[in-house]
Amino acid sequence: MKERNYDVLVIGAGAAGMASALKTSKQGLKTAIVDREPYLGGILPQCIHNGFGVHLFKEELTGPEFAERFIQNVVKSDIDIFLNTTVTNMAVHQPIKQANLCSSQHGVFQINAKAIVLAMGCRERNRGNLGIPGTRPSGIFTAGLAQRFINIDGYLPGRRVVIVGSGDIGLIMARRLTWTGAQVLAVVEILPYPSGLTRNIVQCLNDYGIPLFLSHVVSKIEGKDRVEAVNITPLESGAPNYSKTFKLECDTLLFSVGLIPENELTQSAGIKINPETGGPLVDTRLMTSAEGVFACGNVLHVHDLVDWVSDEAQRCGFELVNYLEGKTKEIKQGRVIAGANLKYVLPNRYRISEKNRFSMRSLIVQDKATLLVRQGEKVIRKFTLRNIKPAEMFHVELKPEDLKELVVNGELLPIEFSLN
């Protein structure tokens, strides 16, 4: 089998993969980037709407434009690009890691690398994850697949559409379908509040008078060959009240019910997964349980803004460079715990040698909230936060001086974040 040797192998050429590869390549590390699609950019080229890049570039870009800022740099750099290429497995618990790959251009081949960046992104939850009863006709898609059909391939998935779930992709698709001449009858959300960004509720639903049914579920799908109707049932005190079920006649049903980090490859390589995020457990260097294997972007935890993906991926590339240069091989770290009202805090370790940036998600909706950082009973830092909701990730930083007191007998004690 043909073998190729690199310093760094980046798996996935979306926002995360490109940003981390550019960082490592710029520092002189010989870098390869692989992607199973025939183009660079990951999911971005199909996200033709705007709203990307506000934090990173201080301007509002569309998905393809945001991707192109990175793509143009990648194609000009020394990074070796392998498109239409799939990684089938990897051996990572050794100093030189091995990945087996295949592509129509190169056949089956092997890449040896000193470090690997996992940047495979995530995929959509689908009907099977929800277990909706009824027949199995055609016309049922995930929202992202419908987005690909319309924006890349130019097919309209249907004319009368019901969308399940108020995630951002679903909301964006409600407007997109309306603009292509389809009729969006309803968005059905199981939770009592919308899952997507507020701006998308306004500009995608309210602008076009599309009703949003909160605390409702699709209780049945009807139709033999093609979807003909769906039954919608309100939830009352958490249970469906079937006496209030109503029917909407439609030919298409889209699911926008959340994303799952895509970690089959990670798990098969024996890397530990965090059940709260669905992504690998990482330390303060964004390094997984396998030494020299890093993770960033949606494969690590699902982000709501690509700006944060790029930011995290650049940090990941930076940490990787420091690691290969031997600067952070031995680093003192302590555990990080997600306490009250927090779904998760990432990374799962902190350090006192440098500042720490944490990403986290709330379990509650609150206009004004207080985030406490504790060690035992002692509160070491307090943050006041505004407009907290599960749909929007937020970040805080802890500086070495915030954390100094946490060393007891040379050990770093766990810190706990809690929100109220």
Residues at the contact surface with another protein, assessed by CB under 8 A: 39-40, 45, 48-51, 54, 60, 62-65, 68, 71-72, 75-76, 78, 81, 150-154, 179, 197-199, 202-203, 207, 304-305, 387
**Closest approach of Cβ 81 to another protein, in Å?**
7
One-letter-per-residue 3-state SS of the chain: CEEEEEEEEEECCCHHHHHHHHHHHHCCCCEEEECCCCCCCCCHHHCCCEEECCCCCCCCEEHHHHHHHHHHHHHHCCCEEECCEEEEEEECCCCCEEEEEEECCCEEEEEEEEEEEECCCEEECCHHHHCCCECCCECEEEHHHHHHHHHHHCCCCCCEEEEECCCHHHHHHHHHHHHCCCEEEEEECCCCCCCCCHHHHHHHHHHHCCCEECCEEEEEEECCCECCEEEEEEEECCEECHHHCEEEECCEEEECCCEEECCHHHHHCCCCECCCCCCECCCCCCECCCCCEEECHHHCCCCCCHHHHHHHHHHHHHHHHHHHCCCCCCCCEEEEEECCCEEEEECCEEECCCCEEEEEEECCCEEEEEEEEEECCEEEEEEEEEEECCCCCEEEEECHHHHHHHEECCEECCEEEEEC
**Closest approach of Cβ 199 to another protein, in Å?**
4
**Closest approach of Cβ 400 to another protein, in Å?**
29
Of 151 and 375, nearer to another protein (C-beta) is 151
| Tally of CB atoms within 10 A around 379 | 12
**Closest approach of Cβ 153 to another protein, in Å?**
7
**Closest approach of Cβ 170 to another protein, in Å?**
16
Of 45 and 165, nearer to another protein (C-beta) is 45
**Closest approach of Cβ 76 to another protein, in Å?**
6
Of 30 and 220, nearer to another protein (C-beta) is 30
Of 33 and 232, nearer to another protein (C-beta) is 33
**Closest approach of Cβ 207 to another protein, in Å?**
7
Of 59 and 249, nearer to another protein (C-beta) is 59
Of 58 and 224, nearer to another protein (C-beta) is 58
Of 39 and 318, nearer to another protein (C-beta) is 39
Of 150 and 324, nearer to another protein (C-beta) is 150
**Closest approach of Cβ 20 to another protein, in Å?**
19
